[in-house]
Amino acid sequence: MLRYTFRRLLTAIPTLFLIVTISFFLMHVAPGGPFDMEKGIPPEIKKNIERVFHLDLPVWQQYLEYLWNLAHGDLGPSYVLLNFSVAELFRIALPISAWIGFWAMVFALVLGTVLGVIAALRQNRWIDYVVIAIATFGSTLPTYVTAPVYQIIFGVLLRLTPVGGWGDGSFKHAIGPIIILGLPQLAIVARLMRGSMIESLSANHIRTARAMGLSEYAVIVRHALRGAILPVVSYAGPAMAQLITGSIIIESIFQIPGVGRYFIDGALNRDYTLVMGTVVMIAVFTIIFNFIVDLLYAVIDPRVRYE
Amino acid sequence: MKTFKSQLIICAAAMALMAGAAQAGGTWNRGENSDIQSLDPHKTSTVEEHNILVDLFTGLIMPDASATASPGAAESWTVSPDGKVYTFKLRKDDMWSDGTPVKASDFVFSWRRLLDPATGAEYASMAFPILNAEDINGGKKKGEELGVKAIDDTTLEVTLKGPTPYFLEMLTHHAMFPVSEANVTKFGNDFVKPGNLVSNGAFTLAENVPGDHTKLVKNPKFFDAASVQLDAVNYIPTEDRAAGLKRYKAGEVDYMDDFPGEQLDEMKKDLGDQVHMTPELGTYYYIFKAQKAPWNNVELRNAISMVIDRDQLAEKVWKNSMLPGWSLVPPGVKGYTTVTMDYSTMSQLDREDAAKKVFDKLGISPEHPQKVEIRYNTSENHKNTAVAIQEMLKPWGFDVTFVTTDGKTHYSYLEQKGDFDIARAGWIADFKDPVTFLNLGHTGDGNNYGEYSSKEYDALLDQASTEADPAKRMDELSKAEAILIKDQPLLPLLTYANHNLVSPKLHGYVDNVMDVHPSRFVSKD
């Protein structure tokens, strides 16, 4: 297991290197730079600014410099949010995105699993149809529709939760984003859970367990659920990475200073270092969560062994 | 009884005092268009930052509630007869928020810093009228050679390279605001962080969370602190206008400096006079590639201008959130007579008749169409404008196609003098003077994307730049605008309008063409 872990961690390095390299050059291929704007800057002044940020160097040199700094844990300065370095921005934004993303995933996993299991146990009955309807509703309605509806009902009309902003970081600011961000995930988890639970319940070992006279609780929770939850776990890994590193739409609509907003603002403003930092961070989180999923697989399913 | 009466009087007096106290104070939650890039006055460029910096810092000259240039850190000044030397007398009671006095040397330090190439200041050009400024910024001269001298702690002498009648107006720009030399020396680039920043404005920095809010609190050391009624100002970026409007309706923000134009009718119905729309010093225009055939034909440019129905653009496309634009310099500059196109007073039908004659002469008709490509930066409104113009040109024999790219790509292409037929642009004034617009047509100007060149025009602008008599100068600038309007290398389409939502709780707010609203003049119920 230790060797497997070590090997997996080692293979992550070239993956990360490739992601960084491709992203860096792709970004510099895009026309326009961070200092092109509606009000053009006189060329001499622009040269000064580019010199300050080393943008006057050839792209390959900028790339090597970026790699060198990255290897030393320096994500560089933001070209647009000039008061901050990219690392400082992440120190502020990542906990906010992670907080919302984590609770959205917990909300989705807990409620989605429960709903999926109930639907599977009551297959083709009214409760199953209700769960399918909720899942369809959650996965088809885009968040840019559900979020404004939520804001109007709970923010403007009822004034129960804030319409937007992070304010003092109190939980009431996070409720809306958590629910709206978690809703599509809940739908997916419920569908996955329902499908795999139905499959699991019809498996031979479950029939054997029932034949042996095990209680229904033991059959469902100890035997059926354990196998059925595997697809949900493998889905949850990358989904968690995505949620924790911020949702662009949710953070924009709810005006939350999270990582997702930096990514889109950074891309539009050609804030190279900020975009690169976000790419690196998302890649790292994806690798970590995939790795955790693999480990969890081994824990949950005794058939899966790596040694 | 007497005791009861006196108690009653005391109670009433206390209540009156409490009511008075309740009127003053409070926090103004200001919804701003976008996030701020920096609070360093020498490194910022956007309108949103300008609003915050006007609250944080006090320059020599400052905008008042109606954006008129008024004494700020300077209580008085004199100008030499040749218009080149300004001597400013600083207020003796102007202090930094750490209690140290604002000295003339702080201005010398600040302007040298602004012009230092190592600072990378986007708006360094604001100081270019000062002697040697441009050379210092270009690395050809040293900062010590700048034409700015601290005669003593409260006397600042500024020598310009030529008479610049709009110099005082330029001083209202945040790039010219001072920073504390001691503060910058102590913290370096981190001097702008909350807890570090020392400022001399009506407010000081308390919090700055990018993407969420920038909170300023009243500065007790401000020279006119007694007149400042707000306790705090909270700047909140509301890039998503629709979400911002919901926050306004929910009472989370008391003001928005823009709103979703497509909801204008509904907003007027719901919010009534909270919707403020007033002319702004900005022009929305198209540019012809002036040296390229067939767009080098002045007659053709004017004929195209004539068949574009600006009233329809303003009313139908922009839902009256913009005004029809017939001049490059929008109305609103004191002492300046704006020059409008001579066919602006004609009816649209008469204009079209006149244009048809030109098209016939040039052989342009639906049977023999002229291809034209319009470039614009991606935005729903820019797209709608371009489509409307396509429809307006089509009947006369123009085959209009579009190239749309994001803002960065668009302006990078224009700045690099890429090839095009017609391109979209807009210009919002940095300071209240016609040159800010008229320079767009000067030969070699970085923002002269169409590469228009007229010796007569350039000569008039150059002459105006050295003219000491303000009235004569304005006259020369008017003459220059007349040339530009006749030649039509820039095709003014619309005049920008301010779109603000202002809560009835706010008092002292004054609409103005610069859309600048210093918080020190505002109070909140």
Dump pLDDT digits (tens) for A79-106.
888 888 999 999 999 999 999 999 999 9
> What distance in Å separates residue B525's CA from the closest CA in chain A?
21
- Asked whether A228 and A219 are in contact (CB, 8 A), the reply is no
Inter-chain Cβ pairs, chain A and chain B, closer than 8 A: 162
How open is the CA angle B285-B287-B293, to the nearest 5 degrees? 155
- Asked whether B478 and B233 are in contact (CB, 8 A), the reply is no
Among A44, A50, A82, most B C-beta atoms within 10 A, so best to mutate, is A82
Residue ranges in B36-177 assigned as alpha helix (H): 47-56, 104-115, 133-137, 167-170
- Considering only CB atoms, B243 lies closest to which of A49, A83, A164, namely A164
Among A56, A163, A249, most B C-beta atoms within 10 A, so best to mutate, is A163
Mean pLDDT of all residues in A272-295: 86
The two beta strands, B213-218 and B232-237, are: antiparallel
Range with the poorest average pLDDT among A77-86, A175-184, B169-178, B484-493: A77-86
pLDDT band, very low/low/confident/very high, at B18 (cuts 50, 70, 90): very low
> What distance in Å separates residue B50's CA from the closest CA in chain A?
15
How open is the CA angle B366-B371-B373, to the nearest 5 degrees? 135
What's at B166, amino acid-wise? Y
- Considering only CB atoms, A32 lies closest to which of B37, B40, B412, namely B412
**Considering chain A, what percentage of its residues have pLDDT values greater than 70?**
97
Q: Give the Cα separation of A166 and A151 in Å (integer).
A: 14
Query: What local confidence, expressed as pLDDT, does residue B135 receive?
Result: 95
Cβ–Cβ gap B252/A163 under 8 Å: yes
> What distance in Å separates residue B377's CA from the closest CA in chain A?
10
Does A303 reach chain B within 8 Å, measured CB to CB? no
Cα B200 to the chain's mean position, in Å? 22
Query: What local confidence, expressed as pLDDT, does residue B95 receive?
Result: 96
Closest of A287, A302, A304, A282 to residue A98, by C-alpha = A282
Location of structure tokens 């009861």? B4
Residues 6+ apart with CB under 8 A from B209: A92, A166, A257
pLDDT at B513 > cutoff 60: yes
Burial of B232 (C-beta count, 10 Å sphere; 0-12/13-18/19+): middle
At B130, which helix (H) or strand (E)? none
- Considering only CB atoms, B137 lies closest to which of A45, A53, A269, namely A45
Helices and strands in chain A, H and E counts? 14, 0
* Neighboring chain A residues of B124 at a CB cutoff of 8 Å: 45, 48
pLDDT at B12 > cutoff 60: no
Cβ–Cβ gap B246/A151 under 8 Å: yes
Residues 6+ apart with CB under 8 A from B316: B388
- Asked whether A112 and A193 are in contact (CB, 8 A), the reply is yes
Query: What local confidence, expressed as pLDDT, does residue A215 receive?
Result: 82
- Considering only CB atoms, A257 lies closest to which of B118, B193, B210, namely B210
> What distance in Å separates residue A64's CA from the closest CA in chain B?
23
- Asked whether B439 and B447 are in contact (CB, 8 A), the reply is yes
Cβ–Cβ gap A48/B411 under 8 Å: no
Which pLDDT tens digit goes with each residue over B65-77? 999 999 999 999 9
Query: What local confidence, expressed as pLDDT, does residue A149 receive?
Result: 93
Cβ–Cβ gap B124/A151 under 8 Å: no
Cβ–Cβ gap A40/B35 under 8 Å: no
ipTM confidence score: 0.81
Q: Give the Cα separation of A111 and A107 in Å (integer).
A: 6
- How is B494-510 classified by DSSP, letter by letter? EEEEEEEEE-TTEES--
Which pLDDT tens digit goes with each residue over A38-68? 777 788 888 898 898 899 999 999 999 999 9
Q: Give the Cα separation of A88 and B193 in Å (integer).
A: 12
Query: What local confidence, expressed as pLDDT, does residue B4 receive?
Result: 42
Does B63 sit behind a cis peptide bond, omega within 30 degrees of 0 on the bond before it?
Answer: no
Query: What local confidence, expressed as pLDDT, does residue B20 receive?
Result: 39
At B414, which helix (H) or strand (E)? helix B407-415
Among A39, A47, A149, A180, most B C-beta atoms within 10 A, so best to mutate, is A39
Cβ–Cβ gap B209/A257 under 8 Å: yes
Task: Note every long-range contact of A11-20, with CB atoms under 8 Å and residues 24 or more positions apart, other chains counting.
Answer: A12/A287, A12/A291, A15/A283, A15/A287, A16/A280, A16/A283, A16/A284, A16/A287, A19/A279, A19/A280, A19/A283, A20/A66, A20/A67, A20/A70, A20/A276, A20/A279, A20/A280, A20/A283
Does A80 reach chain B within 8 Å, measured CB to CB? yes
Cα A17 to the chain's mean position, in Å? 21
The structure tokens listed for A149 are 């509806």
User: What is residue B454's three-state secondary structure?
Assistant: coil
Q: Give the Cα separation of A100 and A174 in Å (integer).
A: 6
Query: What local confidence, expressed as pLDDT, does residue A139 receive?
Result: 82
pLDDT at A304 > cutoff 80: no
Higher pLDDT, residue B480 or A283: B480
> What distance in Å separates residue B497's CA from the closest CA in chain A?
17
Nearest CA in chain A to B448: A40
Higher pLDDT, residue A289 or B472: B472
pLDDT band, very low/low/confident/very high, at A150 (cuts 50, 70, 90): very high
Q: Give the Cα separation of B218 and B227 in Å (integer).
A: 11
Cβ–Cβ gap B408/A37 under 8 Å: yes
Cβ–Cβ gap A52/B119 under 8 Å: yes
User: What is residue B31's three-state secondary structure?
Assistant: strand
3-state secondary structure A27-78: HHHCCCCCCCCCCCCCHHHHHHHHHHCCCCCCHHHHHHHHHHHHHCCCCCEC
- Asked whether B136 and B145 are in contact (CB, 8 A), the reply is yes
pLDDT band, very low/low/confident/very high, at A302 (cuts 50, 70, 90): low
Q: Give the Cα separation of B113 and B305 in Å (integer).
A: 45
Query: What local confidence, expressed as pLDDT, does residue A293 receive?
Result: 81
pTM exceeding 0.80: yes
Does A164 reach chain B within 8 Å, measured CB to CB? yes
Nearest CA in chain B to A29: B409
Residues 6+ apart with CB under 8 A from A296: A233
**Considering chain B, what percentage of its residues have pLDDT values greater than 90?**
75
Cβ–Cβ gap A255/B38 under 8 Å: no
- Considering only CB atoms, B125 lies closest to which of A45, A81, A262, namely A45
What's at B235, amino acid-wise? Y
What's at A301, amino acid-wise? D
Q: Give the Cα separation of B231 and B198 in Å (integer).
A: 18
- Asked whether A246 and A107 are in contact (CB, 8 A), the reply is no
- Asked whether B370 and B294 are in contact (CB, 8 A), the reply is yes
At B193, which helix (H) or strand (E)? none
> What distance in Å separates residue B381's CA from the closest CA in chain A?
16
> What distance in Å separates residue B285's CA from the closest CA in chain A?
12
Mean pLDDT of all residues in B332-355: 93
Q: Give the Cα separation of B275 and B264 in Å (integer).
A: 9
Which pLDDT tens digit goes with each residue over B366-407? 999 999 999 999 888 899 999 999 999 999 999 999 999 988
Query: What local confidence, expressed as pLDDT, does residue A305 receive?
Result: 56
Cβ–Cβ gap A89/B210 under 8 Å: yes
- Considering only CB atoms, B240 lies closest to which of A42, A89, A253, namely A253
pLDDT band, very low/low/confident/very high, at B275 (cuts 50, 70, 90): very high
Quickly count: other Cβ atoms within 10 Å of residue B43's Cβ: 22
Does A30 reach chain B within 8 Å, measured CB to CB? yes
* Neighboring chain A residues of B138 at a CB cutoff of 8 Å: 44
Chain mean pLDDT for chain B: 91
Closest of B136, B137, B138, B127 to residue B160, by C-alpha = B127
Residues 6+ apart with CB under 8 A from A245: A94, A97, A98, A101, A259, A260, A278, A281, A282, A285
- Asked whether A193 and A144 are in contact (CB, 8 A), the reply is no
pLDDT at A218 > cutoff 90: no
Cβ–Cβ gap A32/B406 under 8 Å: yes
- Considering only CB atoms, A82 lies closest to which of B37, B138, B408, namely B37
- Asked whether B163 and B466 are in contact (CB, 8 A), the reply is yes
pLDDT band, very low/low/confident/very high, at B15 (cuts 50, 70, 90): very low
Across the strands, what pairs with B428? Answer: B282
- Asked whether A255 and B237 are in contact (CB, 8 A), the reply is yes
* Neighboring chain B residues of A262 at a CB cutoff of 8 Å: 211
Among B408, B411, B437, most A C-beta atoms within 10 A, so best to mutate, is B408
Mean pLDDT of all residues in B150-167: 93
- Considering only CB atoms, A156 lies closest to which of B40, B45, B246, namely B246
The two beta strands, B61-63 and B74-79, are: unpaired
* Neighboring chain A residues of B208 at a CB cutoff of 8 Å: 83
pLDDT band, very low/low/confident/very high, at B195 (cuts 50, 70, 90): very high
Sign of the C-alpha dihedral computed for residues B2, B8, B12 and B15 taken in this order: positive
Does A54 reach chain B within 8 Å, measured CB to CB? no
Query: What local confidence, expressed as pLDDT, does residue B24 receive?
Result: 61
Q: Give the Cα separation of A88 and A72 in Å (integer).
A: 15
